[in-house]
Structure 1
Amino acid sequence: MKDMLMNIESRYERGLAKLREIDGEAGERVLESLDGIAPDFARYLIEFPFGDIYSRPSLDLKSREIAVVAALTALGNAAPQLKVHIQGAINVGVTRAEVVETIMQMAVYAGFPAALNGLTVAKEVFAQGAKQ
């Protein structure tokens, strides 16, 4: 039982470190927004996506964030999350041009409306001074 608890803590700690590496303060704000309503969900968000998936060695963070930007663009209904992940992509070395090309590529698979919405979100992130 003690080993299981230690593994859970390491998942959380590993996930929190990865979240901070990618999203910085934006990730912290997402977690804080869940405090009053679903703190357990915040823990799941840290442990599974960031502690388990993002921490795997086969893809670097730049590749992972490009994939996430593509997926969120294709969904077409995840603008707040897309905003956070565009900034996260830039934080880990994706250029603005690469973000734009990734979103444009989604027009082929998810349609022009999804790509237009994604480009609108990217424009907002860039206007807010997203570091390059």
Structure 2
Amino acid sequence: MTDETAAVNAAIEGELRLLDPAVRSSRAEVARLLDPEFTEIGASGRRYTYAEMLAELPDHPGGEADGPRYEPSEITGVLLAPGLVHLTYKTRFCGHWARRGSLWRKRDEGTGWRMYYHQGTPVPPDVG
């Protein structure tokens, strides 16, 4: 396995973990996966910081074990530079689609890969 493949696979694994209700509902797990300099522009258009996401993610949709789940598809990634991976994919949640992009970075061996930036864009029903 190449370094690029390993990096992309690690970022995808982290992304999928953040969509898992068990992880979303755990501030400790989310803290392990988000970079301290994390920011997000949500599908709602709202901007989130690291502290806001840690505080609010457990209460966001997709965090309940018996509730609806995000269904990811078409996940692809590319290593932009050593320690920086860009992922793109789509999610379906309660019948609504969004296109998503994330930047994952690895600053040192001790912390592993963490999400540095995320953006979600709603897909209107008449757009594929």
| The two structures share one fold, judged by TM-score above 0.5 | no
Q: Which structure has more helix as a fraction of its residues?
A: 1
**Higher gyration radius (CA):** 1
Asked which structure has the greater RCO (Cα within 8 Å, sep 6+), the reply is 2
Q: Normalising by structure 1, what TM-score?
A: 0.27
Normalising by structure 2, we get a TM-score of 0.28
Higher strand share: 2
